[in-house]
């Protein structure tokens, strides 16, 4: 499998596989066919949902990209795609729930959507998943967080461990946490799937107790295969489950 060559720290002793099903709910994935860079067709979606069920999940919250320059997905389009997936699940008798929110790219259009309350959230806590550019911290980050909270949303920052501009600025994560931002780490970051620097940040967030949500960020089967074969055997994943700091199972 190609992903194995990207696993970083093979010096860490792998444990017996932890029970991924303890998470119960996945909060970040791209499973609605053909609307972003995730699943390309319904067959691929169903294959991934069967794997989620096999891993022990009871619910998947899928979060298509919303990005003004690339993925102009609207709540109407996302909900229509969700209903098609639900119908296919019923037909195939896959025993798993699926809901939809979105992963919003923090740009000017996002702030306009926020102002009009045209955003999709998940959970009774009105959790709002957003991501940042990978190049540099956006100038409007603090303002956007304030505006989300002003609208009584709970901001959830997607994969903070992957933003290279914070690789040497660990204090930023404490600052975000203090502002009430929930940090959602990608599970495979714990195994080095995205590289050693990302793993280092993920381990730091775990050490500080700052990981409040864990997501697969599943775009294709490879992500679930990496989770099942390596990540669930990492000592860090075992520790994360044992500490009970995650909000996933409450959703």
> What is the residue extent of each domain of the chain?
23-246
Which residues lie below 8 Å from residue 80, measured CB to CB, with a gap of 6+?
Answer: none
Over residues 144-153, the pLDDT tens digits come to: 999 999 999 9
Q: Which CATH architecture has domain 23-246?
A: Alpha-Beta Barrel (3.20)
Over residues 192-219, mean pLDDT: 98
If you write DSSP's letter for every residue of 48-84 in order, what string do you get? Answer: HHHHHHHHT-SEEEE--EEBTTTB---HHHHHHHHHH
Q: What pLDDT was estimated at residue 125?
A: 82
For residue 157, give Cα distances in angstroms to 49, 113, 150, 174. Answer: 24, 17, 17, 13
Q: How confident is the model at residue 11 (pLDDT cuts 50, 70, 90)?
A: low
Report the first-to-last Cα separation within the chain, whole angstroms: 33
Calculate what percentage of the chain has a pLDDT beyond 90.
94
pTM exceeds cut of 0.75: yes
pLDDT bucket at 65, cuts 50 / 70 / 90: very high
């Amino acid at each position: 499998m190609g992903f194995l060559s990207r696993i970083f720290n093979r010096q860490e002793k792998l444990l017996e596989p932890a029970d991924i099903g303890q998470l119960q709910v996945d909060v970040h994935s791209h499973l609605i066919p053909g609307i972003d860079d995730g699943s390309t067709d319904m067959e691929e979606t169903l294959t991934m949902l069967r794997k989620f069920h096999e891993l022990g999940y009871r619910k998947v919250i899928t979060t298509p990209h919303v990005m003004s320059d690339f993925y102009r997905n609207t709540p109407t389009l996302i909900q229509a795609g969700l209903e098609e997936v639900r119908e296919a699940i019923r037909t195939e008798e896959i025993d798993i729930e699926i809901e939809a929110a979105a992963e919003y790219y923090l740009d000017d259009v996002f702030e306009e959507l926020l102002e009009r309350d045209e955003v999709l959230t998940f959970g009774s806590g009105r959790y709002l998943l957003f991501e940042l550019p990978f190049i540099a911290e956006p100038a409007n980050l603090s303002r956007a967080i304030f505006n989300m909270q002003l609208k009584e949303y709970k901001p959830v920052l997607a994969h903070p461990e992957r933003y290279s501009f914070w690789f040497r600025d660990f204090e930023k994560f404490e600052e975000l946490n203090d502002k009430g931002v929930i940090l959602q780490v990608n599970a495979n970051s714990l195994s080095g799937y995205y590289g050693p620097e990302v793993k280092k940040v993920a381990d730091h967030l775990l050490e500080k107790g700052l990981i409040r949500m864990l997501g697969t960020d599943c775009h294709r089967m490879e992500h679930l295969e990496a989770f099942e074969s390596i990540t669930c055997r990492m000592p860090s994943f075992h520790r994360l489950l044992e500490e009970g700091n995650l909000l996933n199972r409450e959703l």
